[in-house]
Structure 1
Amino acid sequence: MADGGQDNELAALEKVLLDKSADPVDLPFSLLKAITGNFSEDNKIGRGGFGAVYKGVLPSGHTIAVKKLFEQFEILDKNFACEIACLVGVKHKNTVRFLGYCSETQHVMRLYEGRSVWADVRQRLLCFEYLPKGCLADYLSDASCRLQWTTCYQIIKGICEGIHYLHQQRIIHMDLNPQNVLLDNNMVPRIADFGLSRRLSGSQSRAITDHKLGTMDIWHQNS
C-alpha cells in the first residue's frame, strides 16, 4: 500500500471514518483491492442481488465495509448513480454511514472464445462503516438468540426514526427488510442498502416502479 498518492487516499478515508461530519470521498480501485485482500473470500461478509460486501482493514486497524457491485449487472450504472445520489448528504444515527465510492473503468486482457482480447471492465464500489453485529434478520431467525423487549423496542423505534428522516429528505428506500437493517455494537439499527432507493423531486409525492428487484442482502461477521 505504498505510494504517496495512496497514503493521501488512506488519510482521507480515515478522516471520513472518524469524523461523522465529513463528506464521502472518491477512492481508487487499487486501494480498495488492497484493504480487502484482493476481495478475498475470507473477507466476504455478505452478498446480495447487486453485489458482494467485503471487510476492508486499514493499516490503522480500523475496519470498513466495501460493497463491490457485480460487473455483469445490466443496470449497474443506473443503480450506482441512484444509490450515491440518495446516500450523499444522508447523516442520521439510524442510517448506515456512507464513507466513499469508486468508479473506474479498466482496459484489461481477457480470454474470449479461446483468444485474448482487450476488454473494458467497470469497477463500481461503495464504502460504509463496518457494523459487527450483522443484520436484523440474523436475530429474527435464530431462536437461540432472542432479543429482550427493551432491545426490540429500541430497534423498532430506531428504524421508524430512520425512515422518518429519509422521508423528510424525500428519499423512498423501496427495499426495507430485516436483511437491510444492520446493528452496531449497542444494537442500534442502521438502515442500509440504498440500491433501489429514489429521491423524489419537489413535485413528486410518491415513487412508482414497474419492476420488483429487491433481493436478500445478508451481512454477517466473520470470526
Structure 2
Amino acid sequence: MMTLEFNEQKFKNTIKNMRLCQHENIVQFLGYCYYSEVEALEYRKKLVMAEKQERLLCFQYLSNGSLDLYVSGASSGLEWRERYQIIMGLCKGLHYIHGNNIIHMDLKPRHILLDDNMVPKISGFHLSKGFAEDQSQTLRQSSVMGTVGYIAPELKDRTAVSFKSDIYSLGVTITEILTGEKETCDTEKVVESWRTRLGTSCTDELLEQVRVCAEISIVCRDPNPEKRPDMKRVIEMLGETDC
C-alpha cells in the first residue's frame, strides 16, 4: 500500500510540474491516462478483491532520441555548433524550470531529447520537486535520489536539495557534451582538443565558446553549492560568447 501511495503521489507530482513547464526546450506534455480495474482473485483458497492500476503519461515524440546517444566518447558525431546549440537550449530550459520554482532532480543526457533540428528538450520529471511562491526553496530528503555520476555531493549525504543540486548535474552534462566523459575537464586541454578538431573551420569566436562552456562546467561542479552560479548567471556567461 505504501508503494502504491508513493507512485500515486509521484504521478500527480509529475503532471503538476509538467503543466507548469511550457517552453521550447522542455518536452511537450500532451496528457495522461489513469486506469483502475477491480477483479476477484483466489488467494490462499479465499476469494479476494484485487485492484489493478495503470498510469500513463503522453509526451511529444522526438525522432533523434536522447543526448546520451551522441556524447558517449570523443568520436561522437556532433559538430561544435550543434553542441553549443544543445548547451544553450539546455540552459534556457533549466532556467525556465527554476523560474517556475521546480527542481528537476535527475538532469542527465538521457533526459535530454532532441528534435529533428537537434533542438534539446528536457524530459524526465518523475523526481522533480515543486515549491509554492512563499515556500523555502530548500528541501530535506530521506533518501538519495537521482543518477550516480550526476548527483551533487550534498545529495549523497542526504542533506538539503536546492536549485544548486540541478546546477551540479548541469555541469556534469556540459562536460560530457564537451569531452564525451563525465570527469572534470581542464579548460585549456578542452580548447586545444577542439582547436584540432575544428581544423580549418576554427575561429577565435568558436574557441571562446568552447572556453566559456568549459569554465561553466567547472564552476557548476563546485563541491560547495553556495559557490555554484544560478541559471541567470549561466545564461549571461553563454550570452557573452553567442555568435
- 1:148-179 alpha-carbon deviations (Å, 9 max, x no partner): 00000000000000000111111111111111
Instruction: Look up the match of 1:131.
Output: 62
Cα distance in 2 between the residues matched to 1:115 and 1:143 = 61
Q: Select between 135-144 and 167-176 the one with higher mean Cα deviation.
A: 135-144
Instruction: Look up the match of 2:11.
Output: 80
Contact (CA 8 Å) 2:64, 2:114: kept in 1 or not?
yes
Structure 2 residue 113 is the aligned partner of structure 1 residue 182: yes
Structure 1 or 2: larger helix share?
Answer: 2
Contact (CA 8 Å) 1:133, 1:187: kept in 2 or not?
yes
Instruction: Look up the match of 1:206.
Output: 138
TM-score w.r.t. the length of structure 2 is: 0.54
The secondary structure found in structure 2 opposite 1:122 is: strand
Cα distance in 2 between the residues matched to 1:101 and 1:162 = 22
Contact (CA 8 Å) 2:105, 2:145: kept in 1 or not?
no
Structure 1 or 2: larger strand share?
Answer: 1
Quote how far apart the aligned CAs of 1:146 are: 2.2
Q: Select between 180-189 and 103-112 the one with higher mean Cα deviation.
A: 103-112
Q: Any gaps of 5 or more consecutive residues in structure 1?
A: 1-71, 217-223
Percent identical across equivalent pairs?
A: 41
Quote how far apart the aligned CAs of 1:198 are: 1.1
Contact (CA 8 Å) 1:172, 1:207: kept in 2 or not?
no
Quote how far apart the aligned CAs of 1:88 are: 1.0
The secondary structure found in structure 2 opposite 1:123 is: strand
Cα distance in 2 between the residues matched to 1:88 and 1:75 = 20
- What's the C-alpha RMSD, in Å, of the aligned pairs? 2.3
Cα distance in 2 between the residues matched to 1:113 and 1:205 = 49
TM-score w.r.t. the length of structure 1 is: 0.59
Quote how far apart the aligned CAs of 1:119 are: 0.8
Instruction: Look up the match of 1:107.
Output: 38
Higher RCO (Cα < 8 Å, 6 or more apart): 1
Instruction: Look up the match of 1:193.
Output: 124
Cα distance in 2 between the residues matched to 1:109 and 1:215 = 39
Question: Is the alpha carbon distance of 1:144 and 1:74 closer, same or farther for their aligned partners in structure 2, counting shifts above 3 Å?
Answer: farther
- 1:27-75 alpha-carbon deviations (Å, 9 max, x no partner): xxxxxxxxxxxxxxxxxxxxxxxxxxxxxxxxxxxxxxxxxxxxx6662
Amino acid paired to 1:193: G
Amino acid paired to 1:199: G
Across the two proteins, how many residue pairs are aligned to each other? 145
Q: Any gaps of 5 or more consecutive residues in structure 2?
A: 149-243
The secondary structure found in structure 2 opposite 1:107 is: strand
Instruction: Look up the match of 1:63.
Output: none
Instruction: Look up the match of 2:50.
Output: 119
Contact (CA 8 Å) 1:95, 1:190: kept in 2 or not?
yes
Amino acid paired to 1:180: H
Question: Is the alpha carbon distance of 1:104 and 1:130 closer, same or farther for their aligned partners in structure 2, counting shifts above 3 Å?
Answer: same
